[in-house]
């Protein structure tokens, strides 16, 4: 079996998008199921997203900002989150303020390992001395009378170099299909992240991505989709 990091980096660089299976992610990080379970508990500490609420979407999140150089992630003040003009059409150049990552989340060894792993993939796309890294844990919730929309803006870019989405948990949910197309709209990948630990990676400079709504399997309980979106720019 080849090195999963090398295989992923090559696929990402050549095709612009790839999926890293949970076993390869866990192997690359050197973690087991107990570590994932502990890490997933951070999603119970997320805060309501007031901007999604304006659209009638129940979404919780937090936000972290780091610099990354020479394999080391350094926390930075979060400040406002602003997306560039050629990215998310819903929030172009709008200052959005989110609750920061909890101290426990920001210091979690698994997050540090993820940032170092993703830093290797970012380097496969571009030779940059220092990266700006944004960390976004999301929880999207859907009820029987309303879909949960992970990407209400539809197909979009994030205005970065590397965009990644790591599935943390998925409960009582159908839908949530991820679609990635190239800059001309040609389909590159369609997949539904169903197994925790699955990592979707994309070269944001030459792809566009979106996720379909989720809804409950059992209408008497909410559908929940927890993901960790990390970008390198």
What is the pLDDT of the chain when averaged over all its residues? 92
Average pLDDT over residues 37-57: 91
Using 50, 70 and 90 to split pLDDT, how confident is the model at 104?
A: very high
pLDDT at 91: 58
Residues 147-166 pLDDT 10s: 799 988 889 899 999 999 99
pLDDT at 52: 83
Yes or no: domain 4-232 corresponds to CATH 2.60.120.620: yes
**Where are the domains positioned within the chain?**
4-232
Q: Is the pLDDT of residue 85 over 60?
A: no
Q: Is the pLDDT of residue 46 over 60?
A: yes
Q: Is the pLDDT of residue 88 over 60?
A: no
Instruction: Say if CB 140 and CB 61 are below 8 A apart.
Output: no
pLDDT at 78: 83
Question: Between these two residues, 92 and 37, which has the higher pLDDT value?
Answer: 37
| DSSP string of 137-179, one letter each residue | EEEEEEBTTB-B-S-TT-SB--SSSEEEEEEEEEESEEE-EEE
CB burial readout 147-171, b (16+ within 10 A) else e:
bbbbbbeeebbbbbbbbbbbbbebe
């Amino acid at each position: 079996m080849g090195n999963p990091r090398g295989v992923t980096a090559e696929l990402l660089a050549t095709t612009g998008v790839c999926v890293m299976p949970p076993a390869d992610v866990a192997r690359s990080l050197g973690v087991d199921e107990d570590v994932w379970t502990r890490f997933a508990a951070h999603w119970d500490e997320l805060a309501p997203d007031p901007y999604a609420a304006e659209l009638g979407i129940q979404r919780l999140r937090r936000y972290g900002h780091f610099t990354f150089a020479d394999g080391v992630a350094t926390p930075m003040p979060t400040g406002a989150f602003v997306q560039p003009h050629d990215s998310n059409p819903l929030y172009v150049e709008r200052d959005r303020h989110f609750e920061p990552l909890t101290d426990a989340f920001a210091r979690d060894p698994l997050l540090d390992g993820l940032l170092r792993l993703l830093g290797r993939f970012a380097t496969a796309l571009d030779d940059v001395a220092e990266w700006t890294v944004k960390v976004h844990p999301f929880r999207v919730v859907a009820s029987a009378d309303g879909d949960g929309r992970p990407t209400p803006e539809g197909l979009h870019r994030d205005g970065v170099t590397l965009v990644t989405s790591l599935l943390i948990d998925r409960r009582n949910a159908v839908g949530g299909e991820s679609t990635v197309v190239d800059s001309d709209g040609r389909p590159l990948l369609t997949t539904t992240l169903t197994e925790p630990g699955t990592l979707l990676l994309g070269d944001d400079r030459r792809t566009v991505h979106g996720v379909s709504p989720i809804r409950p399997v059992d209408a008497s309980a909410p559908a929940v989709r927890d993901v960790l979106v990390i970008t390198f720019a």
